Amino acid sequence: MTERHFKKLRNMYLQANINKMIFDTTTCVISQKKSEISLNITEKYFHALEAIHGSVYFKLLDDAAFFAASSVIEDVFVLTTSFTINITRPVSQGTIKAIGNVRFESNNLIVAESSLYNAEGKEIAFGTGNFAKSKILLKDTEGYV
């Protein structure tokens, strides 16, 4: 895979409407079979107990695994077909980082995992997902520039 592909995937992530709407400050780095996504926590992401909502854990874990899986496919968009998360501790401040890695790949399936870490480097959640190739060409995908 090429650095150009990784840069286009990064652009696609950062330009996605959902990310511009939800996340104020996020970073994204993609390389071969790996991605890292960071987010600065603010009260905007809290539930009633003043820690980040589970949906934020899910989104970051899914995104990190998704872009790790996408790093190995240069022609078509990849789809999440299933994703399971486990939350191990709450977090309410600092920068959190999701790291995704490809665990398995075949012609029709990519399995990727991700872990989410707090500012002290402690794992706060982890997940595993299955990803499949779609028929949608990446070159036709919004933001893949």
pLDDT in tens, 43-101: 999 999 989 999 999 999 999 999 999 999 999 999 999 999 999 999 999 999 999 99
Q: What is the mean pLDDT of the chain?
A: 95
Interval 27-55 mean pLDDT: 94
Establish if 98 belongs to a structural domain.
yes
Strands ordered across the beta sheet of 110-117: 26-31, 34-40, 95-105, 110-117, 123-137, 76-87
- For the chain, the domain total comes to 1
Residue 69 · residue 82 · CB < 8 Å = no
Query: Rounded CA gap, 42 and 26, in Å?
Result: 12
The answer to whether position 145 is within a domain reads no
Could you tell me the sign of the dihedral formed by the alpha carbons of 58, 61, 63, 66, in that order?
A: negative
Tokens of 3: 């650095």
The residue segments making up the domain with residue 128 are: 3-138
* 48: CATH: 3.10.129.10
